A and B are shown apart, each in its own frame.
Chain A
Amino acid sequence: MADALTRSMRASHVLAAVLVVAALIFAAVGAAIDDTFYLRLGTEALIFAGLALSVDILLGYTGLLSLGQALYFGLGAYLSALVLMVTPSFWAAMGATLIAAIVVGAIGGFIANRVRGVYFALITFGMAQIVAKIVYNTRALGASDGLIGVPVINVNFGIASISSASPVGFFLFTLAFIVVLYALAAYLLDTPFGRLLIALKANERRVPFLGYSTVTPRLTAYVIAAVIAALSGALYPMLRGFVSPELLFFSTSGNAVITLVTGGVGTLVGALYGGILLTVLKSVVGSYTEHHLIVIGLLFMGAVIFLPRGLMGIVRPAVERWLGGKVVP
């Protein structure tokens, strides 16, 4: 007998599948009309959805609000750009990012996990600000200009390869990449380890009474989130050919939180829908006025007040009902 969490995650998976089908149709139409702009925009939306996914692991599951996830996103983006400028190999860039994210994530997690609640939000915010300011002032990392001239690469799978210069090819690759990250996160959170994280969110004091350590799972969750953010960030220079210090700024972390809260906290798939929703909204509103922040800010405030569970708070229960079984609100 599946419990409520398994049922609701099943609904998340259905919604993720719907998203993939829609993205494939979008890619097919884009390829047919030889579009570049919208496919690139869609790819960027998916990359930032990956960042929002990492925020969801912390906020939605462990109950910790990170205001500094841009630290790891930027780490991935800068490292990937540096590696690619030396050797244009996708796997080298990803490997280096993975290792760096684990190491830096462990250090950051050690620092941040010493505190709880609102202090956690502020300490993650502070750490990201330190790194952002240092990068912004380091000439070797391009200072305020960032790194430009990241070469076009071929993602080599042995039997086939995808060029990052191909709009539709790289869109499909990014889609697959983000879906794999989603699946990995969903799998991990369905294991006993994931249940432990949810228990931590519900009541951290009681968890030790069940014989579990609270330190290890919190740190592990933090590192996993760091890795997901960094790997998403590593795709950015492949798409745009440059990285800028803006990727490390608070606006990037803040946008990820907005994306997640509008999409739906604690659903994983909400991060993906939120990323697409916000990108579409930005480009639609942006075509009328340059003041899209007012619209997005109001929408976000509305979501916080009226829809604390975001877009998925309406959609997912409906999908659950459709899949059958009783819905526990």
Chain B
Amino acid sequence: MLIRKPADLRSSDLTPKQLYVNRRSFLTGSLALGALAGAARGGMKLSDAKKTAYNVGDEKITPLEDITHYNNFYEFGTGKDEPAENAKNFRTSPWTLKVEGEVAKPKTFDQDSLMKIAPLEERIYRHRCVEAWSIVVPWTGFPLAALLSQVEPTSKAKYVAFESYYDPKQMPRGRWAGIQFPYVEGLRLDEAMHPLTLLAVGLYGETLPNQDGAPIRLVVPWKYGYKSAKSLVKIRLVEKQPPTTWNLSAPNEYGFYSNVNPKVDHPRWSQAKERRLGELFKRDTLMFNGYSEVASLYAGMDLRKNY
């Protein structure tokens, strides 16, 4: 089974990989070349994802090499460079994503139907890990809301629970990770429906590399990275707050909400600053990772308690 065939010529056929991988230094070259780089970003390889207004201003996009060789994907090992190596032969096809629970129309999507839920968009998001490092990622995907509206959540649905793929045979390193698998995550329904919440199927204009959560993953840019569960196989709409993996592992360190918040420290380290990969010194962490439009979701809530 294939992702939709590319029209004819891919932008990556026209542009040397070196060039679009190193777009950062390329872009700094000149503004005129910048227009070319826009085309080189791809988007054709994943059919033709449309560019969007979701951007991060003048912050540099993290090189593909870093996004694909500095990963927390504990099923494939706890070292940052391990997933790139150990996920090489991970089978992501065939793949199904089951959506069930408090919905009028439970549905199982295969890879083809996942690609057709909504038009694919490219969105450049900040990604802030709870370990105080961050990257900027050009994701390709579609809003989670588009998928949820297809299954029609009932009035009982208050939360959305996510489950990642786990197969000890394909992921033998998982048994040493120190956390329980399958990896589970959760959002409140209004968080899940927020237009920023993305189901990503690609980055840098190509399908997701295995180590970044292929074939489909969650991206919630205003929350710490571990909320953005990878390689999803199940989405369940539920009435009560679902369990989440890191919260089960250390409830005093990782809460259900896990909003990026420079004022609420992790018990063992400060969250006031972060190291953007590629930068030597730390930069200030922004409230909600800079996505202040989500603040209204938490009006009246004590974010110190609901960390």
A, B from the same assembly: no
Partner-B contacts on A (CB < 8 A):
none
Partner-A contacts on B (CB < 8 A):
none
